[in-house]
Amino acid sequence: MFDRSLSPDEWRTRREAYRARVRPQAEDRVRRVSRQRKHPVHDFLFEYYAYRPSYLMRWSPGVGVRLEAAVESDLDWRPWFRPCDGGWVLPAADFSRRRLPFLRWAIEYLETTGEREPSFGCFGLHEWAMVYREEQVRHDRIPLRLSRDETDDVVEAAALRCTHYDAFRFFTPPARPRNRVELSREATPAHDQPGCLHVTMDLYKWAFVIAPYSSAEVVADAFELAVATRELDMRASPYDLAGMGFPPVRIETREGREEYVEAQRLLYGRAQPVRRAVLAEYRRLLELVTS
């Protein structure tokens, strides 16, 4: 039922450290919702990924780890845990076998995507393509840095090289034919590559989608990476967020494109250990469920 154990000092220390890491963003999101305020950068991580702050605050050691001397009130994911030898454990046997095809597909997707050569030539133009020749923009309370015509000129002067369908699908109709490849949901595994900011942010989704069977620390690593990636994503966008503390990466200039590629490469490097950790969680879960 378990193959690892944590002493009371170990799991309490880990639980409190985890909560301290995610609490600022989680509580800020709750405050914004209560005041009906929007944050064009950080709300994305809660709205697009649809993972509630209350869920993010829940700590789990992952599957098959016994929490010694724990009582039921210590558990953030109580219904999933079972009493075991003077403690509590999240047993692999309770994982739905109907989700096994998903586990196998996700492992193959993460492996294949991570092994591809990263591409750093998109320059974050997906956000520009989302407002191209469109009067109604997604963040209508945030001004554009350039005029409407100048913003459209940036798109027309560039080669759109988006490789991620979940960015491409928000392109305006006039922008879609300008992309190098017509992307589709079905072809996502064939095009996703590890240099893409959205693929990097999606590591957060892969980490939490099997919660609480994934370690909360892996979720926190992926979440913090997603925050940093989203900030670069929006700094390189056509929106003027300088007043909110996000100085622009002016990808409409050569210097700005160089700055973007350098930051993109750094995020790619930072994502590598996170990707390996997420993959390890999936492989361990599959092994325990099927053994």
Span 215-262, pLDDT tens digits? 999 999 999 999 999 999 999 999 999 999 999 999 999 999 999 999
Q: Give residues with Cβ within 8 angstroms of 25, minimum separation 6.
A: 42, 45, 53, 56, 223, 227
> What average pLDDT does the chain have?
96
Based on the structure, what is the number of domains in the chain?
1
Q: Which of 65, 85, 86 is nearest to 77 (CA)?
A: 65
Query: Could you tell me whether strands 87-89 and 65-68 are parallel, antiparallel, or unpaired per DSSP bridges?
Result: antiparallel
Inter-residue long-range contacts of 149-152, CB under 8 Å, 24+ positions, other chains counted: 151/238
Residue 43 vs residue 138, higher pLDDT:
43
Helix or strand or coil: residue 4?
strand
Asked if residue 158 is part of any domain, the answer here is no
pTM of the complete model:
0.96
Query: pLDDT class for 14, splitting at 50, 70, 90?
Result: very high
Predicted confidence at residue 136, as pLDDT, reads 75
Domain with 73, as residue range(s), is 4-121+188-290
How large a percentage of the chain has pLDDT more than 90? 95
Average pLDDT score over residue span 118-137: 93
In this model, does residue 22 exceed pLDDT 90?
yes
Residue 128 has pLDDT above 90, yes or no: yes
For the segment 205-215, what is each residue's pLDDT rounded down to a tens digit? 999 999 999 99
99 lies in some domain: yes
Full DSSP string of 34-92: HTT---TTTTHHHHTS---HHHHT-----TTEEEET--GGG-TTGGG-EEETTEEE--G
Report strand pairing: 87-89 vs 82-84.
antiparallel
Whether the per-residue pLDDT at 279 is higher than 90: the answer is yes
Q: Within a domain: residue 126?
A: no
**179 in a domain, yes or no?**
no
Residue 182 domain-assigned?
no
- At 139 the pLDDT is 72
3-state SS, one letter per residue, for 151-170: HHHHHHHCCECCCCHHHHCC
Q: Residues 140, 146, 148, CA angle at the centre, nearest 5°?
A: 65
Tell me the per-residue pLDDT of 172-191, one tens digit each, with 9 for 90 and over: 999 999 999 999 999 999 99
3-state DSSP call for residue 22?
helix
Query: Is 122 exposed, middle or buried (CB count within 10 Å of its CB: 0-12, 13-18, 19+)?
Result: buried
Measured between alpha carbons, how far is 29 from 61 in angstroms, rounded to an integer? Answer: 24
Whether 139 maps to a domain, the answer reads no
pLDDT at 228: 98
pLDDT of residue 165: 97
Whether residue 149 is contained in a domain is answered as no
pLDDT over 90 at 140, yes or no: no
What number of residues does the chain have?
Answer: 291
Q: How confident is the model at residue 62 (pLDDT cuts 50, 70, 90)?
A: very high
